[in-house]
Amino acid sequence: MAWHRLMVYLSTAGLFCFMMGINVLLFISHLISPSLTKKIILKLGERVTTTQNPNFKYEDWGLTFSSFAFVKTASQHMWLSLGQDAFVGGEAPDTLVVNMEGKQTSICNYFKGNRPLFKQLVKDFGDVADFLVVYVAEAHSTDGWAFANNIDINQHKTLEDRLSAAQILVEKEPLCPVVVDDMSNVSAIKYGALPERLYVLQAGKVAYKGTNGPWGYNPMEVRTFLEKNE
Ligand SMILES: *[C@@H]1O[C@H](CO)[C@@H](O)[C@H](O)[C@H]1NC(C)=O
């Protein structure tokens, strides 16, 4: 898997330079013309779930791209993504997670037989796949790169913080078990999962690996994958 790792380093370095470039350009363009900047960001973001999320309007998140908190959060995510260990066709890392009762368990404990394990699309594919949501570090914490008009969640300092933040998710009834990453953030790191990422795991192997969100977060791709493999 050595060349996989090399690809991770190279693509992360490339992405970082790209992001910094875009960031500086947007900052300048916002000084010149805020309305044109808004058009550009919305255009760039057409494929991004944030732009389609009815809970947020552009003003809640658009301007944060030229902020230090964005650069800091995105850089941290990229830095941690260097530790990823989940590659299509390779072993699925059986990382430590914590269930909502606060008990330690691990991702592979949620496999039943050899059915693919996975998040979302639960209703449509519940009879062929098992679904699991692993709640990892908060991407938009109030004390980090926050959106306006979002739920207030500070970055978790303790496991209790993380469990109570995940409780908000449980209340939305995801129709599948929710576990949280251990405070070492081992699942987020090995799965390169920050800020969010979709996987299909099957028979202990990584069968599908989405690109990381929000740009790469693509439930439709997973749907297509599951339909093909049903
Ligand atoms: C794991 O993530 C949390 C944020 O949710 C952070 O506060 C903590 O320092 C991280 N742990 C490690 C070991 O990096």
Q: What is the pLDDT of residue 22?
A: 81
The pLDDT value given to residue 117:
60
Ligand 1 neighbour 50 (Cβ under 6 A): no
Judge if the beta carbon of residue 73 lies within 6 A of ligand 1.
no
Question: Is the CB–ligand 1 distance for residue 211 below 6 Å?
Answer: no
- The pLDDT value recorded for residue 116 is 63
184 Cα–ligand 1 center, Å: 6
Pocket test for ligand 1, best of 76, 155, 158, 162 (most atoms within 8 A of CB): 155
For ligand 1, whether the C-beta of 30 sits within 6 Å is no
User: For every one of its 230 residues, what pLDDT tens digit does the chain have, with 9 covering 90 and above?
Assistant: 678 888 888 888 888 888 888 888 888 888 898 888 888 888 877 766 666 777 778 888 877 776 778 888 888 888 888 888 889 888 889 999 999 899 999 998 887 666 566 555 777 888 878 888 899 887 777 777 777 777 778 788 899 999 998 998 888 888 889 999 999 999 999 999 888 888 999 888 999 999 876 666 777 888 889 888 76
pLDDT computed for residue 124 by the predictor: 81
**If you write DSSP's letter for every residue of the chain in order, what string do you get?**
-HHHHHHHHHHHHHHHHHHHHHHHHHHHHHHH-HHHHHHHHHHHGGGSHHHH-TT--HHHHGGGGGSHHHHHHHHHHHHHHTT----TTSBPP--EEEETTS-EEEGGGG--TT--EESS-HHHHTTT-EE-EEE-S-TT-TTSSPPTTS---PPPSSHHHHHHHHHHHHHT--SS-EEEE-TT-HHHHHTT-SS---EEEETTEEEEEPPPTTTS--HHHHHHHHHHH-
For residue 183, the CA-to-ligand 1 centroid distance in Å is 6
Reported pTM: 0.72
| C-beta 185 within 6 A of ligand 1 | yes
Does residue 167 have its Cβ closer than 6 Å to ligand 1? Answer: no
pLDDT at residue number 105: 93
- The pLDDT score that the predictor gives to residue 18 is 84
Give, for ligand 1, the residue of 140, 141, 142, 156 to mutate: max count of ligand atoms closer than 8 Å to Cβ: 156
Residue 174: the pLDDT is: 80
Amino acid 216: pLDDT: 67
Closest residue CA from atom 12 of ligand 1 = 184
